[in-house]
Amino acid sequence: MTRTVQPVRQSVRARRAAAGSAAAVAAGLALVVGAAGTGQAAPLHTDAGAQSPSAASCGAATAARTAPAAETAPAPGITGSAAQKISYSLAGEAPVGLWTSSSVTLRTPVSKGTVSLDVTTSGFSAASLEIQRYVPTTHRWVDLHSSVGGGLPDKGTFTFPVSVAASPGHPASVALRVKDLDRPGRLSVAASVKDGHGHTYRAPVRNAVVDQPTTTLTGWSRGTAMVRGGAAKEFTLKVKNTTRRAYPALNAGYFAYGQSNGHTLAPKDLKLQQYVPGHGWQRVSLLPGGCDPGMSAALVPTAKSPLAPGATAVYRMRLAVEGSAPVTNVEAGVSAGTGDTSFFYRMLPFVIRAR
């Protein structure tokens, strides 16, 4: 049975809510985003935006995020110079899966105006970006309206409405945060504002490097075959944080799926163990995927959380096939991520033989 699962881009309000790998999703490791982040803003009135409704579907590649009732307000921050009608800030590094602080500062009156962020990506699609703004009146982060796609997957525009009585002496700032849910690359953002009085003002372009931890897999080769009731196969997943940001809530998982002549591979057919420092080899429970006949397991954390820059998390595993397993080809693999966002997966297929 051959199954191909591709990431799905949702509607505007639920867009880009998951970026877990296709393989991980196929095995039931659906990953949702929604980790809290920080930004900078001074109080200012903006029209309230809609929250992403909660959504989930059996075996789907995406699940929407619902913001909590209230979130910590970002610290006030003003960017740019007094001569700039609009200025924009963006941190120079935006690691995959982490919220990165950003903000817009206005120094001109705006009446029912619109702020636009024109983004250009390199190495990943603009559709994988999520940009939010903080709304002080509701104490929530909300998604910006986006226009991405067509024949230019590396181009996109994110907008939000604004009204403010700002001036050079009394600037007002709105907090933003940016997250890439896909792959490393580069990001450029050009901010502008239409003031509602027939004027458009532009801020200098800001750039960021989008990177992620370096992840390697050793011990598993193409064409691996395993015998029912035979010896276990050992392999190792290593995640080294090569970014300048700490990665909170680091996680890793294993997944598998197999079917032959009406017999589906079940959790009882595989024995997955993980070496836990100080405790030795421990069996890791494989759980069925609900409506998906696959199975998955969350690996035991092996490093301090958050994973500091330069630190490495090591996951040593070994897998054996029980005598009850069907003779079949197995789609299997590992994934790694932070919180609810996956940034790595590797397929580890194998064949189960009777002897």
Domain ranges, ordered by start, for the chain: 38-44+66-210, 214-353
CA-to-CA distance for 19 and 31, rounded, in angstroms? 7
* 214-353 carries CATH number 1.20.1630.10: no
Look up tokens 């809530």; give the residue: 249
pLDDT in tens, the chain (355 residues): 333 323 323 332 233 333 333 333 333 343 322 222 322 223 343 333 333 222 233 333 333 333 344 456 676 678 889 999 999 999 999 999 999 999 999 999 999 999 999 999 999 999 999 999 999 999 999 999 999 876 779 999 999 999 999 999 999 999 999 999 999 999 999 999 999 999 999 999 999 999 999 999 999 999 999 999 999 999 999 999 999 999 999 999 999 999 988 889 999 999 999 999 999 999 999 999 866 679 999 999 999 889 999 999 999 999 999 999 999 999 999 999 998 889 999 999 999 999 8
| pLDDT at res. 72 | 65
| pLDDT at res. 76 | 60
Give the CATH architecture of domain 38-44+66-210: Sandwich (2.60)
| pLDDT at res. 151 | 72
Q: How far is CA 63 from CA 8, 129, 283, 301, in A?
A: 10, 16, 30, 24
- Per-residue 3-state assignment (H helix, E strand, C coil) for 141-207: EEECEEEEECCEEEEEEEEEEEEEECECCECEEEEEEEEECCCCEEEEEEEEEECCCCCEEECCCEE
| pLDDT at res. 41 | 29
